[in-house]
Amino acid sequence: MRSQSTWSEKDSMLFGDVQEIVVTATRTERPLSNIAVPTLLISAKTIQLNGNVRLSDLLQEQTGLFLTSGSGSAAIGGGVFGNGIQIQGLSPDYTLLMLDSEPLTGRQGGVIDLSRFSVGNVKKIEVIKGPSSALYGSEAMGGVINIITEESRKKFLNGSVRYGSFNTLDLNVSSNYNTKKSTLFLYANHNKSDGYDLNPKTEEKTIDPYSNSTLQLKFTHRFTPKTRLIWNNRLFHGLQTSLFALGGNTLNIDGSGLTTDININPVINHLFNDNLKTSLRLYGSFYQYDQSLTFLNSGEEYYKDDFNHNFYRVENQTDWTWAKNHQLTMGGGYNVQTVNTIRYRTQQIQQLAYGFIQNEWKINENWTIIPGLRYDANTDFANRLTPKLSSQYKVNKQLNINFSFGSGFKAPDFRQLYLNYVNPAGQGYRIYGAAEYSLAEIQKQNQEGLVDRILPEAYEIGSLRPEMSSGINTGFTYNLKNKPIKIETNLFYNYVTDMINYLPIAIQRNGAFIFSYKNINKSFTSGAEVNIMGQTYKYFNWSFGYQFLQSGDQAILDKFKNERVFGRDEPLGSAREIKRSEYTGLLGRSPHMLNAKMSYDNPLNGWAGTVRAIYRGKWGVVDLDGNGFANMDQEYANGFTQLNASAQKKFSKHVTFQINLNNILNHIDPINLSHMSGRSFMIGINWNLN
């Protein structure tokens, strides 16, 4: 049996408690073991062993993260969701995505598509679970995912070539050059695929062919030992073709979508002394999605839109250790964002000024309390003051107890405020953002015969309020004495009010609806998360994670209390009374999620590999009988188990061969899991010239 000192010095490094530093949780550098809020850290070693290519593939294997795909009303507040990530049951549009601590833009339907991000240059990924608006503002109501790219002062040249199913090709090249005062890092990635078809009964593919390219250039210059500049630049270029059937089974619409995403981010850091440092961050993000669709036979234009979203920000943060047991973090910034698309009448501009402050108070060696506060002044909605409080108590060397409370908010987005859209297909339904909606205009259309009937909800549309949330997390971290086993638990509860939903407000003469947006619902998500990880023998590491999730719409729960609720057992069946025990909560959320992993890494013989399993219990996806929730079999997506594996062999100091097998059990669901391509493989070779 090993001594306690051996466990502390060697095996704790396995779990990241010694060398791994987290910056996202408190906006300051802290060891992972000293973080009081629920934090998931994905290291570069994990990414390399798993053999993941895209960010979406990596995140879906983590405890408590649920990859959404498709469209429906699963988001709290309803609406459309895409290839995004749920955290603690909160929808993807409530999660702030950052690249090197700067926000990513280009949300479509409230969601940033994770599959467009390569992980070949990623140093680590930090995931903060629960409300984080007090530090990061509106979009962080459910949590934060911070993708931190490579930064090194070593000279190297790395590359990889991977090829696999569906004619998928992934190429990576990265290089780092260092002088006495400067470092230049360059990364390039090209990823292409022919797409795939999960439903052979249709002519169109589930995922159309695509080609993505990413280029990153990071320049660091050390003016003095206390002052340095980090200038990070990123360019993404993506092309996805489209070929689908409209109004039948014959392919008749052809086109493409071209995505361009440019990020420019210079940062100046200055250290005044050991107790005081500051940073000035400038950031510009330029996102463009140009979509063009034509009729296949005639070449006539069917749809065209040039979606442009620009974001500019200046921010300062200062960290001041003003007493032996107090560290103050304070700062503020100003940002401007613009959106221009045919779906809005004019170009929209939104401005935001904000300030934040938090104090880390180390009461004694075992107890730390961190209160914080943020103030946001936005041009499009009421100003907002957001508090937070987190605390950690170290009972002993093995046990930490954590608690955090956060208030979150999500401001109405451009879509909910300014959308002015007519669907070109079918009957042509309309959607008006709340700021674009006019009751007088609807009444005028009614008098002219264009609108057949005005619904009661039309008289209730007004100014939108931010969606508000309160979240509590409490749990513990325990390292078994004299054994390389670590246990983490967390209980969470999130309550969201003033949620924004779209609802019909009128019926057109042709029977198509007119929609607008309104603050309407109240919902909650709650549950428990457990992670256990450890080491078996010398080169085997293992981990196990489980999340139990409950959720609910308060209006439906009140209806169960005050009146009878009805539903059907099949779409055309007779109605029957539904019991409270049959209510399964919000759509798009799996109550049971489990993942397990075994990895092997032997530097002596060069062999390494992983076997990973993820399980998702069935979840509701649609309401067919009009009661607001899923209760019949046809309203659920089937649960599934996905098994992935990777193996690699290091043939020399510089060359490694790797093979990956994904979705080995071949679970296929074209409607609800379009991102899962069925059983697939990828082989590759990596070289490293240091």
Share of the chain above pLDDT 90, in %: 61
Dump pLDDT digits (tens) for 588-597: 899 999 999 9
For 418-444, the pLDDT digits (tens) are 888 776 654 567 888 988 888 999 999
pLDDT at 463: 87
* pLDDT at residue 328 tops 90: yes
The DSSP secondary-structure symbol of 573 reads S
Q: What pLDDT is recorded for position 78?
A: 32
Report the relative pairing of strands 467-479 and 485-508 from DSSP bridges.
antiparallel
Q: What pTM was computed for the model?
A: 0.91
pLDDT above 70: percentage of residues in the chain: 94
Enter the DSSP assignment of 10: I
Q: What is the pLDDT of residue 19?
A: 55
Cβ–Cβ under 8 Å, residues 66 and 131: no
- Residue 368 and residue 30 in contact, taking contact as beta carbons nearer than 8 Å: no
According to the model, what pLDDT value does residue 427 have?
55
Per the domain annotation, does 7 fall within a domain?
no
**pLDDT tens sequence across 255-279:** 999 999 999 999 999 999 999 999 9
Q: What is the pLDDT of residue 77?
A: 29
Q: How confident is the model at residue 229 (pLDDT cuts 50, 70, 90)?
A: very high
The CATH number assigned to the domain holding 164 equals 2.40.170.20
Q: Which residue has the higher pLDDT, 20 or 215?
A: 215
Number of domains observed in the structure of the chain: 1
Cβ-proximal residues to 352 (8 Å cutoff; 6+ apart), any chain = 137, 334, 335, 336, 376, 377, 378, 379
User: Looking at the domain assignment, is residue 214 inside a domain?
Assistant: yes
Judge whether residue 14 has pLDDT over 80: no
So what's the pLDDT on residue 425? Answer: 55
Each residue's pLDDT tens digit, 296-308: 888 898 888 899 9
Residue 11 is assigned to a structural domain of this protein: no
Domain membership of residue 2 (yes or no) is no
Would you state the pLDDT for residue 5?
32
Q: What is the pLDDT of residue 2?
A: 36
Domain containing 309 equals: 17-689
Residue with tokens 């290089």: 175
Q: Is the pLDDT of residue 378 over 90?
A: no
Contact 374, 358 (CB under 8 A): no
In which residue are the tokens 């926000």 written? 103
Mean pLDDT of 495-499: 91
Q: pLDDT at position 481, please?
A: 87
Q: Is the pLDDT of residue 407 over 50?
A: yes
Question: For all residues of the chain together, what is the average pLDDT?
Answer: 89
Give the pLDDT band (50/70/90) at residue 75.
very low
pLDDT at 10: 37
Question: Does the residue 12 lie in any domain?
Answer: no
Average pLDDT over residues 498-508: 85
- In the 3-class helix/strand/coil scheme, how is 254-304 assigned residue by residue? EEEEEEEEEEEEEEEEEEEECCEEEEEEEEEEEEEEEEEEEECCCCCEEEE
User: Would the pLDDT of 100 be above 70?
Assistant: yes
Flag whether 1 is in a domain.
no
Nearest-angstrom CA–CA distance, 492 and 588: 19
Question: Residue 265 falls within a domain, yes or no?
Answer: yes
235 pairs with which residues across the strands? 215, 262
Average pLDDT over residues 61-73: 72
Rg of the chain over Cα atoms, rounded to whole angstroms, equals 26
